[in-house]
Amino acid sequence: MTNVSVYDKAVQLQNRARQIAAGAVGEKEAARVLSRTKELRAALAELRNQVELTHALAALEATGKPDLAGIDTARTAFERKARNGLPSDTVFNTARRKVQELTDRLKGDNSEAWSSWATARITGLPLVRIPMLSSAEREAARGREKELRQAAAAKSLSKADITLFTSTYAILAESLHDKSDPPNELLDLLERLEKRPSPTLRDITDTDIALLREFEMDLHITLQRTGA
């Protein structure tokens, strides 16, 4: 079953409710049914969004195809109870709850899959080469790296977020592809600066400071006074 058929089934249910309401019940009952079907369609629209996200992530090999068996079961139960008249609010609420449960599960699975996949892609980038770019290129590369990390941590994912991430990733990866790694002296210095406890200013030589400034890494180093 495709995500399109899930939504189409909701439309069919609403049309059926309209027909029954128009021919068999009064205005108040018709309004109730139309209100409930509108809520059910809205819930199914949310489900459809998550299903489409799952398919988009599957295309990236970040996750598998969605399991929609639960929605088939809920649809069958709803149709059975609607055969002999308009479903009660309880029936509508049960169907909507089933849809919401599946939506929430897919949303959680999508979020987890996206975070793992996107984080792995960022980790695989040779970001240590950013200092080897020109000044303008370094600024742009660091901006793209920031965008990627923000996208990877997104709490509410959309297909547009996936498209933006993949395009930004491609641009950053291309800019770093043919660049060499920074000198070992700079990598060793950065490793020393990241150790805890942090080195003091006395531990940093003028040569170290000159090396940081040469690659504009001094923009990312802060000093903090300790003690009295």
pLDDT score at 23: 56
Confidence grade of residue 9 (pLDDT, cut at 50, 70, 90): low
Q: Distances in Å between the alpha carbon of 173 and those of 71, 129, 130, 159, 215?
A: 40, 11, 11, 21, 20
pLDDT score at 80: 80
Per-residue pLDDT, averaged over 184-208, amounts to: 87
- Cβ pair 181, 175 in contact under 8 A: no
CA distance 99 to 40: 8
Least confident of 11-20, 89-98, 121-130: 11-20
Query: Shortest CA distance to 190 belongs to which of 176, 211, 174, 167?
Result: 211
- Cβ pair 96, 39 in contact under 8 A: yes
Query: Shortest CA distance to 164 belongs to which of 174, 151, 173?
Result: 151
CA distance 152 to 150: 5
- 3-state SS of the chain: helix, strand, coil percent to 5? 75, 0, 25
For 115-172, write each residue's pLDDT tens digit: 999 999 999 999 988 888 887 888 899 999 999 999 999 888 999 999 999 999 999 9
The type of residue at 16 is R
Per-residue pLDDT, averaged over 192-208, amounts to: 88
Look at residue 196 and tell me whether its pLDDT is greater than 80: yes
Confidence grade of residue 183 (pLDDT, cut at 50, 70, 90): confident
Confidence grade of residue 19 (pLDDT, cut at 50, 70, 90): low
Residue 169 Cα to chain centre, angstroms: 15
Q: What is the pTM of this model?
A: 0.71
pLDDT score at 123: 95
pLDDT score at 228: 57
Confidence grade of residue 67 (pLDDT, cut at 50, 70, 90): confident
CA distance 186 to 131: 10
pLDDT score at 5: 65
The type of residue at 211 is L
Per-residue pLDDT, averaged over 59-70, amounts to: 85
